[in-house]
Amino acid sequence: MKILANDGISTNGITMMEKAGFEVLTTTVAQEQLANYINEHKIDALLVRSATKVRKELIDACPTLKLIGRGGVGMDNIDVAYAKSKYIHVINTPAASSESVAELVFAHLFGGVRFLYDANRNMPLEGDSNFKELKKSYSKGTELRGKTLGIFGFGNIGQATAKLGIGAGMNVVYCDPEVSNATIELTFFDGQKVTFALKNTEKSELIKNADYISLHIPDQKSYVIGKEELSQMKKGVGIVNAARGGVIDEVALVEALENGTVSFAGLDVYESEPKPEMKILMHPSISLSPHIGAATLEAQERIGSELAEQIITLLK
């Protein structure tokens, strides 16, 4: 059987599948040429990440497909229900990248409260000529400890983010209609474990009380954070979106940054991805990363292993 990992896969995942007798192809095929490639090479399983789209038209055009795999959590780039209606297995790796995304959220948070996103832009330009003024500009940072972190979406990634928040001494609240109560367990280097009971919070309460907000929700039909929600937030709130572009109204976000409602934003995803708006890219109060939440070496190895294990179970 042939596997096409169109958006790449870790070496350990390839090794596991090859040992099980699969042929693994890692050619990156352009979207418009994908159907022809799959049919020409009689591909049995297509593995993607966020770049490749697997829509109804591609599924209909590729009768050899038996499995579609998504390396990661969200599957909004796959017509999942339609694929399943055609008796095609659809798999993903919902837990493999949770810690990686959570750590990126906190990279944005720690950088945000100490202005590192802006200091790293200005120090190369003015560090040798304007050091004292830069020091003065960036000497009004705050601490995360003791502040309230509000998390929208409390699946694997939301809970991993909560663990880091608790570890940093933050009060963590969350909003998720699917998770009424949650028990978070922190495991330490010496084997000790401590559990924390968290309760679901209404959206309006989270927005009103949170000092910092992190989004961990799938693609939505409308904004979760728009002009109205931004107007109800604490003055000086910080917002991080490492979920999906389009869950925050970016026009309203820029306006809130300009009027001081939001002190900083950390964005890993964008409404117009892969071409973010220039107002976002150039804004001095936005910390930027190019959709790399799950892109750590450790996460990619876990993703590769989980995909390989599922494929071997389902197709052998």
Active site residues: 244, 273, 291
Which two three-digit tokens encode residue 226? Answer: 């728009």
Q: Yes or no: say if 277 and 271 are a contact pair by the CB < 8 Å rule.
A: yes
Tell me how far the alpha carbon of residue 216 is from its chain's centroid: 7
- DSSP single-letter state for residue 222: S
Q: Where are the alpha helices (DSSP H) in 142-234?
A: 156-167, 203-209, 227-231
Query: From CA 2, how far away is CA 17, in angstroms rounded?
Result: 10
**HSE of 198 in the Cβ direction (CA atoms, 13 Å)?**
27
Neighbours of 177 (CB within 10 A): 9
Alpha carbons 17 and 136: distance in angstroms, whole number: 56
Kind and range of the H or E element at 40? helix 34-40
- The conformational region for residue 8 under phi > 0 = left, psi -120 to 50 = alpha, else beta, is left
Sign of the CA dihedral running 252, 253, 256, 261: positive
Give the Cα separation of 124 and 226 in Å (integer).
35
Query: How does strand 148-152 pair with strand 171-175?
Result: parallel
Give strand pairing partners of 288: 267
